[in-house]
Structure 1
């Protein structure tokens, strides 16, 4: 009897959880970002393939920027009240005047969430990052940077490659001219819906710009 009662409780909890997350997942049938047509931007736009999970990651092509573009929500049902917020994350990389080594798993700056401007109930213009949001990076010692490069080399199975980058970084007269740079490596776009007077997360999409050039 005790085992049967325990199983009933487990089943009840599982059903409740499925119902809760099912409602959240079904809130949006999809998302899309309209292409940017202004000069200097090549972003062709993006559209989700059906309903989004609560979190997902979208890599961007080199040169693509979503800031200033319009995000359009595609709700599963009419009548919801939505808002969109954006957060920027910066990372450091090493540049060799073309080739670059991105340290996206090392230190970061993460901005506060900032609102996207609503142009109508379902369309939101994604904000432009400020200079501080684009260039912020926490303090570090040279030894920390070197260790981060070595860790990346080991994770890629190529420690010699990491040492070659470090040799060029330490030698200012190097033909390659390796130097550190900071760039936005992740743009989180969060969609929230108003439920019972409180904002609830619906989906967060992390767009991954290509660092370097």
Structure 2
């Protein structure tokens, strides 16, 4: 995976320090309600090991639509026992594990029934406030939404996901400190407002801006009818514990 080995160890340390009584978002696995999970261990690499074993994991996520199948070749879900899913829905929501990203990942398609296939990617940033382990992710407040950018294929025909710089991941709409503090009181509470009393902007510690969601959009036309199809994959990435 793209993250360095020590990141995973650090992430485990942070997990152990988390306060379960905090106002931080408690993540549960999110997938579209129409998903029919297919637990198929043969789709996982033979050297797959859970993060709890402090070893890098290599996992392929497969989404099967009526018109095509899509594989993200290295991505670990919050519930990584399910690696293959079938859905009738046009929008799919996935929650990935801490530290996971689609940046630089490879995506393959089995889309023999489609023409004019195009895959695009964008991202969204959110504000998170940390208090050592506990944190409050302001996922219901303001965000920066990047533009859609088309993904290109490598020589093997796989789509290559985009990478983002630290500057990209910290983009956020202009807000006043007064507006920010008001939003923190509303979405997080007084404890968190007290923590940010000395900040001058949303990127000043203990506040931080980071990528909270990735989006993949696939479009194409059915060869049989010319009907246009649009598939959207929303990937939520934990901003903390």
**Larger relative strand fraction:** 1
Same fold flag (TM > 0.5): yes
**Using a 3 Å threshold, how does the CA distance of structure 1 residues 109 and 150 change in structure 2: closer, same or farther?**
same
- Give the structure 1 partner of residue 101 of structure 2: 65
Shift of 1:195: 6.1
Shift of 1:74: 3.1
| Structure whose CA Rg is larger | 1
**Correspondence 1:116 to 2:155:** no
Gaps of 5+ in 2: 1-64
Contact 1:88 1:110 in 2 (8 A): yes
Shift of 1:138: 0.8
Cα RMSD (Å): 3.0
Where do residues 58-137 of structure 1 align in structure 2 (5 Å cutoff)?
58-75=94-111, 77-78=112-113, 80-119=115-154, 123-137=158-172
Shift of 1:139: 1.0
- Give the structure 1 partner of residue 240 of structure 2: 212
Shift of 1:54: 1.0
**Using a 3 Å threshold, how does the CA distance of structure 1 residues 201 and 121 change in structure 2: closer, same or farther?**
farther
- Provide the C-alpha distance between the structure 1 equivalents of 2:124 and 2:182, rounded to a whole number of angstroms: 21
Shift of 1:60: 1.1
Using CA pairs below 8 Å that are at least 6 residues apart, which structure has the higher relative contact order?
A: 1
**Using a 3 Å threshold, how does the CA distance of structure 1 residues 125 and 199 change in structure 2: closer, same or farther?**
farther
Deviations 1:90-115 (A, max 9, x none): 11111223322111111111111111
Shift of 1:150: 2.6
**Larger relative helix fraction:** 1
Shift of 1:122: 5.8
- Provide the C-alpha distance between the structure 1 equivalents of 2:125 and 2:90, rounded to a whole number of angstroms: 23
Gaps of 5+ in 1: 1-24, 37-43, 154-161
Stretches (4+) displaced over 3 A: 77-81, 198-201
Residue among 206, 215, 240 paired with 1:179: 206
- Provide the C-alpha distance between the structure 2 equivalents of 1:194 and 1:35, rounded to a whole number of angstroms: 27
- Give the structure 2 partner of residue 14 of structure 1: none
Contact 2:123 2:215 in 1 (8 A): yes
**Correspondence 1:192 to 2:219:** yes
Contact 2:116 2:221 in 1 (8 A): yes
- Provide the C-alpha distance between the structure 2 equivalents of 1:199 and 1:137, rounded to a whole number of angstroms: 37
Normalising by the residue count of structure 2, what TM-score does the alignment of the two structures yield?
Answer: 0.60
Normalising by the residue count of structure 1, what TM-score does the alignment of the two structures yield?
Answer: 0.67
Shift of 1:81: 3.8
